[in-house]
Amino acid sequence: MPNILVRQATVDDLDALALLFDAYRQFYQQVADLPAARQFLLARFNHAESVLFLAHEGDTPVGFTQLYPAFSSVSMARTFILNDLFVDAGHRRSGVGKRLLEAATRYARLMGAVRVSLNTDISNTTAQATYEALGWKRDQVYYAYHFTPQI
């Protein structure tokens, strides 16, 4: 396994994160927009709305994950939504995703969270296998529903 360092990102990492975030969005068929990616992430930092972890191999940023804080009313406890996880194409299958997931769950534990949740594409069996190998459980109780308001 290559020498991968994962640490919590700061606003000083914004330019490296924006490049990865823009590539992540393109992976999901969004149009490249580096300035908008940078603005979006800057707003998350400025409003303390998320926690980001950045993976490096040497001096090269190779992946990131982003957690959004949430709460469970039933549990009356903190939860997190792992909304974004991306590894640069040239560094996939080298343990980067695993290290990012471990950093995110370690952080959630330190913050006293009772759960970290994520969604992935039904066809993304590689990611599903990684999650399951790390102890993540597929929900067998709830269906996910989404509502998109007309704006």
User: Rounded CA gap, 105 and 87, in Å?
Assistant: 17
How large is the average pLDDT for residues 138-145? 82
Q: pLDDT tens across 6-30, in order? A: 999 999 999 999 999 999 999 999 9
The full set of domain ranges for the chain reads 4-133
Q: pLDDT tens across 24-62, in order? A: 999 999 999 999 999 999 999 999 999 999 999 999 999
Q: pLDDT tens across 80-119, in order? A: 999 999 999 999 988 999 999 999 999 999 999 999 999 9
Q: Is pLDDT of 141 > 90?
A: no
CATH 3.40.630.30 fits 4-133, yes or no: yes
The pLDDT of residue 1 is 52
Q: Is pLDDT of 5 > 90?
A: yes
User: Rounded CA gap, 78 and 92, in Å?
Assistant: 31
User: Rounded CA gap, 67 and 84, in Å?
Assistant: 7
Q: How confident is the model at residue 124 (pLDDT cuts 50, 70, 90)?
A: confident
